[in-house]
Structure 1
């Protein structure tokens, strides 16, 4: 099980990856949406904003998300670290239910280029 510090660093790395992206990925990352990442094994939620191609204003709270974000991710801590590290493919993990992504239909269509 990854630590909360490792997960926070993974989210920071994901933000850096998004900020450095080009083309369709960059366009999808420019959404301005609230975002949560619930880590089931640590019983913690990271909340922030996907804004200007970065994940900003990240906070950590125990338990489930305090409010319903526009984009919601749910996974284990190890899956977050592996996904950001490039060893766990997001698309197949999402398709099998290992990672959950919930968002409005328009957002899902825009986010598909990130997958």
Structure 2
């Protein structure tokens, strides 16, 4: 099982990767609050997606977040590292993403 620090670092790694790839995919019109809930560690993080970049990552939940990613720690890290396919993870209920359908379509471009 991964630690809280491992999960936090994975989110910062994702933010760095999104920033590096921003030029290749173009600006993504998506400005939403994000909550990342790690079920097995009973912890959460929150951030903001702004133009396809993940910014303002912080500890703690945001119950009003427009997008919520819910996963166990190992699944979260595997998803961010690219070892876990997001579509298969959602279909098998390893990962849950709560968002409106239009936001889900835009999120696919990021993952």
Fold equivalence (TM over 0.5): yes
TM-score (norm 1): 0.84
Structure 1 residue 104: Cα displacement: 1.1
TM-score (norm 2): 0.87
Structure 1 residue 84: Cα displacement: 1.4
Which residue of structure 2 aligns with residue 112 of structure 1?
Answer: 108
Which residue of structure 2 aligns with residue 34 of structure 1?
Answer: 33
Aligned residues: 109
Which residue of structure 2 aligns with residue 86 of structure 1?
Answer: 82
Which residue of structure 2 aligns with residue 8 of structure 1?
Answer: 8
RMSD of the TM alignment (CA)? 1.6
Which residue of structure 2 aligns with residue 99 of structure 1?
Answer: 95
Which residue of structure 1 aligns with residue 63 of structure 2?
Answer: 67
Q: Which runs of at least 4 in structure 1 moved beyond 6 Å after TM superposition?
A: none
SS at match of 1:20: helix
Matches of 1:102 and 1:36, distance apart in 2: 10
Does the 8 Å CA contact 2:35/2:47 hold for their aligned counterparts? yes
Stretches of structure 2 lacking an aligned partner (at least 5 in a row): none
Matches of 1:66 and 1:111, distance apart in 2: 19
Structure 1 residue 100: Cα displacement: 0.3
Does the 8 Å CA contact 2:12/2:57 hold for their aligned counterparts? no
